[in-house]
Amino acid sequence: MREFYDSFNGNKLKLVFGSLLKTVEAFFELLIPLYIAKIINEGIVFSSSDVLYKCIFVMIIFYLMGYICSVVSQYFSSLVASNVGRNIRNKIFSKVINFKQSEMDTFDSKFINNSLTNDVKQLESGINMIMRIGLRAPIVAIGSIIMAFTINFKLSLIFVVSTIIIFLFLYFFLSYLSKRYIDIQNKKDRLNLVVSEMVDGSRVIRGFNEQEKEISKGIKAGSKIFENSLFVEYLQSLFNPITYLIINISLLIILYISNDLVSSSVLLNGDVVALINYLTQTFVAISALVNLVFILSKFLASFSRIKTLFDYEVIVDEERREEVASIKSLEFSNVSFSYRNNNVLSDIDFKVNQGTTLGIIGLTGSGKSTLAKLILNLYKCKNGSIFINSLDINNISTNSLKNNISLVLQKPNLYSGTIRDNFMICNPNISEEDINKYLKISMAYDFVYSFDKGLDTVLLENGKNLSGGQKQRLAIAIALSRNPSLLILDDSSCALDLKTEYDLYSNLNREDIGDIRIIISQRISTMKMCDKILVIDNGKVSGFGTYSSLIKKNKIFKEIVLSQEEGVSND
C-alpha cells in the first residue's frame, strides 16, 4: 500500500499539526470540570468572589483557546482529506490508464468507476473524521478517567468498567459492519452494471420487447442493496441506545455511592459535579467514537477495494527499442491465442505487403476482432510471432505502433465535446481544411455540415446524438486524420448502406490512404474491393487469396457468398 501512504506526501506536516491542535483542545476541555468544582467548593460554598471571578476568567480563556484550536484543526483536516483524495484519484487514474487490454479485462469498469468516485469519497470522510475525532475522543475519554481518579479512586473504577464494555462492543461491531459495507459496495457495482446495460441497450431491449424482464432485473439488484442497507441501519440504530444505557447505569451508580461519601464529608459537592462532568465528557467522546465507527466501517470497505487496485501488479514489458517510420509488411507466423484458457486463434499464417488491402471474413465468433487486437499488441500471442517490417512486434516500441496504426471498431468511441475537439484529440495540429478532406473521404462531410454549427456541433458521450452510420463515418474520418500507415476497419461500416459503403472504400483506394489496409467485414460486396481475403473459421485460417481463387476453392467462403446472394435475390 505504498501508493496510499505516498498520497499523504506534502500533507504530513498539516496532518500532524491539525491532529496536535485537536489534542490541545482536548486538554483544555479536561481542565474545565476542575475549575467548576473549585467554583462550587470555594467560590460558592465559602462565598469567595475572588476565586469565583478568577476561575470564570480562566474558563473563558480555556474555551476561547479550545475554539481557536478546533477551527484551525478542522480547516487542516478538510484540507488534508481533499488533497489525499485528489492524490489517490490521480494514482488510480494513472494506473488504470496504463492497463493493457488483458489487465482491463481483470477489473469491471463499474468497479473502477466506483473506486474513483464513491470509494475515494469514503476515504476522504474517514481521514477527515480520524483527524477530528480519532485522536481527540480517546484523549478526552482516557483523560476524563484519569482526572476522575484524582478526585476519587472508587468511583473512577465505574468509568473504567463502562468504558471497557463499550470499547469491546465497538470492536465487534466494527468488524461485522465492515464486512456488511463491502457486501453493499459490491451490490452497488452490480446495480451500476445493470443500469448501464439497460441504458446502452435500450433500443435492443425495446426491439425484443424485454422491458419487463430488464425492469425486474433492476428492481432485484436494487432490492438487494435496500435489504442490506436496511439491516445495517437497524444495527446502527441499536448502538446509541445501548451506549446510553451503559452510561446512565454508570451515572446512577456514581450518584448512589457519592451520596454516602458526601454525607460523610469524604467527597465535596463540587467534586461530585466534576465527576458527573467527566462522565458526560466520556460519554460524548464515546458517542463521537461511535459515529467514527460507522464512518470507519465504510472507510475500511472502500480502502479494501482501492487496495485491490493498488496491489495489482501491472505487467511491465521488456524494453522495446525498435522504431518503425511506416509499415511496409505485416506477417503472422503460426500465431495462436487463448483467452482465459479458451482457444480463440490457432496456427494463423499470412503475410501482406505495402499497397495491399486485406479483407478478413468469417462467421460470428471466429476470432476476426481478436486478430485485429493482436496486431495492435493489446494481447500477447500464446504461440508464434507477429512481424512488422520483419521485426518482432514485441520488440517495437508501443508509441511507434500507436503512431502508425489506426483502428475503427464497429461501435466507435466518440468523446463528449465538439466534432472539431474529437479531431484535435487525435491530431492537435490538424487544420480545418484537412478535417474537411477526411470528412469527404469517409462520406461524413454532408451530414456534419447539415448541422447548424458544423464542426462546432457538440456531441454527447459516445456520440449518442448521432445515428449508427453517422458515428461510424465520423470515427473513420478521425482515424484517417492520424495519417496511419496501417488502417484497420473492424466491421466499422456495417451500419452503412451498400452504396455509401462502396463510395467510402472507393475514396480510400483513390486517395491511397494507408500503406496497408485491413477491412474486417461480413459483407461479400466489401470483400470484392480487397486485394487479398483471409477466411477465418473457428479460429483457424480456412483460406487466403483473391476473391476469384477463394470462390472456386474455399468451401466456407463459397457458402458465405451463396447465402448473401440468396438473401439479395429473395429481397
In the predicted structure, residue 260 carries a pLDDT above the cut 60? yes
Q: pLDDT: is 557 or 567 the higher one?
A: 557
Residue 568 has pLDDT above 60, yes or no: no
- Bigger pLDDT: 9 vs 209: 9
Can you give the pLDDT at residue 1? Answer: 64
Q: What is the mean pLDDT of residues 547-566?
A: 86
CA 532, 538, 542, 548 dihedral sign is negative
pTM value surpassing 0.75: no
What's the gap between Cα 193 and its chain centre? Answer: 13
pLDDT at 433 (0 to 100): 93
Please name the residues in contact with 405: beta carbons below 8 A apart, sequence gap of 6 or more.
327, 375, 376, 484, 485, 486, 487, 488
Query: pLDDT class for 315, splitting at 50, 70, 90?
Result: low
Task: State the pLDDT at residue 291.
Answer: 73
- CA pseudo-torsion sign 556, 558, 564, 567: negative
Residues with Cβ within 8 Å of residue 414, at least 6 apart in sequence: 422, 459, 462, 463, 466, 471, 474, 475
pLDDT tens track for 170-198: 777 767 776 787 788 778 777 877 877 77
Share of the chain above pLDDT 90, in %: 25
Give the model's pLDDT for residue 64: 92
Q: Is the pLDDT of residue 9 over 60?
A: yes
Average pLDDT score over the chain: 85
Q: What is the mean pLDDT of residues 224-243?
A: 80
d(C-alpha 63, C-alpha 139), whole Å:
17
User: Is pLDDT at 112 greater than 90 in this prediction?
Assistant: no
The average pLDDT across 341-356 equals 89
Least confident of 111-115, 133-137, 312-316: 312-316
The pLDDT assigned to 310 comes to 84
Please name the amino acid found at residue 150.
T
